[in-house]
Amino acid sequence: MDRRTFLTAGAAGLAWSTLNRFPMAMAAEPAKHVGLIGCGWYGKSALFRLLQIAPVEVVALCDVDRRMLADAAGMVAERQSSGKTPRTYHDYREMLEKEKFDIVQVSTPDHWHALPMIAAVQAGADVRVEKPISVDVIEGQAMVAAARKYGRVVQVHTQRRSTPHLIEARDRFIRTGKLGKIGLVETYCYYHMRARGNPPDTTPPDHLDYDMWTGPAPMRPYNRIVHPRGWRAFMEYGNGILGDMCIHMFDMVRWMLDLGWPATVGSCGGIYVDKDSKANISDTQTATFDYPEQDLSVVWQHRTWGHAADPKYPWGATIYGEEGTLKLSVMGYDFIPRQGDPIHQDVTYEYDKYPEDRTEKDLERHVAAAMRQHWKSFLAAVESRSLPVADIEQGFISSASCILANLAMKLGRSLRYDPKAGRVVGDDEANALLARPYRQPWVHPRPDTV
């Protein structure tokens, strides 16, 4: 998709709009220096929300795609109030060595989350990292260990925790007890998300350093499905639809219901329908996260075929309580009590305050308010040196639980993970899969070596 022009408004108008939002903050303190590693779709969308709310200066960008990097640099120059074009880098290690950052945003494909995030906190930056935080469990352990060792704030981009209408639903129906005893949560995605077709492998385009893009992942022949954005179709680079979509809803439910690690994780599924596609992620999968102490199970289902069970909720969660049912999605919520009238709420838009949201190309407009609120939580934590709403440890629990579900499907049995030991209880075969092999010369991080 063409992402070269995000706004129809000119740079001068954008700068004036930005200055008017926080003139006192700009006068009170110098702008924080920000760097972005990974200049694709969501990296830019999230970065531009930060520019809307805080007096920051994006000083440097990094990407292995020269065309994407140049486009992003031009967009940032238009968006930030200084009008300066950030310096650009091909290798995140060089960028972190040459620049001094207050904040680093890691928005790479999943297989590239761990190493840049760890390097950024080692360089003294606070970090915002995409979900899932890692492609394997040991990577996640190392990321938490690094954040704690170097005393840095690390926020995971599980922004359901900062979505205004979902915060309202939690406070209005769960914390007040209006749902009554909760016994089951269903989470689901019925989007047709799995890449289709089987195009031939080709030579990588000249503007892409495919070897560096692959990094620690296994080297596959280049295919146009993979870049940009299609890499989610391959398990080499992520964790399938569980790692992409389940983590959002599972993390949201854990936050709403104050749940920690599941006692056991089980899953079944596979490629049942679309067997001709080059994609190797499951097209059908069910996972169960059990919380016996709460008499509760959280169940996930996805299928990239057929129709949604409820057309209004193609991706969401349904919480079943004795006194009612609460349906939740990125677009709104519905509370259906056993007695009384249903209550509906739609997603929050903020076009009056941020009119550029209407015209920004490729922006998921329904999540703009949540991304801004998520950044505000991060910035507050940076100032107070406290934990943000989506701290790295919370992101690890949600990410690792989804990874364990994939391992349970692969092994054909439920798994019981001991978070204190960092191992699956009584299952050497599962423990051998907690860390994926890294392609040389990249070295897999571990919690005792960061």
Greater confidence, 5 or 417?
417
- Average of per-residue pLDDT values in the chain: 93
pLDDT at 108: 98
Q: What is the pLDDT of residues 237-282, one digit of tens each?
A: 999 999 999 999 999 999 999 999 999 999 999 999 999 999 999 9
Which pair of tokens denotes residue 240?
Answer: 């399938």
Pick the closest to residue 393 from 150, 161, 163, 145 (CA basis): 145
Q: Are residues 132 and 31 in the same domain?
A: yes
Q: Are residues 189 and 256 in the same domain?
A: yes
Pick the closest to residue 72 from 115, 41, 102, 110 (CA basis): 41
In a domain, 80, yes or no: yes
In a domain, 69, yes or no: yes
pLDDT at 193: 87
Question: What is the amino acid identity at position 320?
Answer: Y
pLDDT at 393: 98
Q: What is the pLDDT of residues 204-224, one digit of tens each?
A: 999 999 999 999 999 999 999
Q: Are residues 309 and 174 in the same domain?
A: yes
Residues 169, 347: Cα–Cα separation, whole Å: 11
Instruction: Report the CATH number at residue 31.
Output: 3.40.50.720
105, 89 contact by CB (below 8 A): no
Q: What is the pLDDT of residues 287-333, one digit of tens each?
A: 999 999 999 999 999 999 999 999 999 999 999 999 999 999 999 99
CB under 8 Å to 10, separation ≥6 — which residues?
none
Q: Can you tell me the mean pLDDT for 26-30?
A: 58
* Residue whose tokens read 């998921």: 364
Residues 444, 440: Cα–Cα separation, whole Å: 10
In a domain, 188, yes or no: yes
pLDDT at 407: 98
Q: Can you tell me the mean pLDDT for 114-142?
A: 98
Which pair of tokens denotes residue 169?
Answer: 């639903």
Q: In 150-246, which ranges are continuous DSSP H helix?
A: 164-169, 210-214, 240-241
Q: Is 279 exposed, middle or buried (0-12, 13-18, 19+ CB in 10 A)?
A: buried
Name the least confident of 194-203, 257-266, 421-430.
Answer: 194-203
What are the Cα distances from residue 400, in Å, to 78, 127, 209? 38, 19, 30
In a domain, 215, yes or no: no
Residues 273, 266: Cα–Cα separation, whole Å: 22
Q: Are residues 268 and 185 in the same domain?
A: yes
Q: Is the pLDDT of residue 13 over 60?
A: no
In a domain, 321, yes or no: yes
> Residue 13's Cα: distance from chain center in Å?
31
Q: Is the pLDDT of residue 57 over 80?
A: yes
Query: To which H or E segment does residue 33 belong?
Result: strand 32-37
Question: What is the amino acid identity at position 278?
Answer: K
Q: Is the pLDDT of residue 6 over 70?
A: no
User: Which residues, in sequence order, are bridge partners of residue 126?
Assistant: 103
320: domain range? 167-197+232-349+394-431
Q: What is the CB neighbour count within 10 angstroms for residue 206?
A: 8
Q: Can you tell me the mean pLDDT for 360-364?
A: 93
Q: Is the pLDDT of residue 40 over 60?
A: yes
Q: Are residues 293 and 427 in the same domain?
A: yes
In a domain, 271, yes or no: yes
In a domain, 5, yes or no: no
Q: Are residues 132 and 277 in the same domain?
A: no
Q: Are residues 150 and 186 in the same domain?
A: no
> Residue 86's Cα: distance from chain center in Å?
24
Number of domains in the chain: 2
Q: What is the CB neighbour count within 10 angstroms for residue 56?
A: 19
Q: Are residues 128 and 270 in the same domain?
A: no
184, 406 contact by CB (below 8 A): no
pLDDT band at 28 (very low <50, low <70, confident <90, very high): low
Residues 90, 374: Cα–Cα separation, whole Å: 28
For residue 245, what is the DSSP state?
Answer: I
Q: Are residues 140 and 191 in the same domain?
A: no
Q: Are residues 173 and 117 in the same domain?
A: no
Q: What is the pLDDT of residues 148-172, one digit of tens each?
A: 999 999 999 999 999 999 999 999 9
For residue 111, what is the DSSP state?
Answer: G
Residues 195, 278: Cα–Cα separation, whole Å: 8
Q: Is the pLDDT of residue 197 over 90?
A: no
pLDDT at 30: 81
Instruction: Report the CATH number at residue 171.
Output: 3.30.360.10
For residue 347, what is the DSSP state?
Answer: P
Q: Are residues 175 and 244 in the same domain?
A: yes
Q: Is 293 exposed, middle or buried (0-12, 13-18, 19+ CB in 10 A)?
A: exposed
In a domain, 220, yes or no: no
Q: Are residues 105 and 147 in the same domain?
A: yes
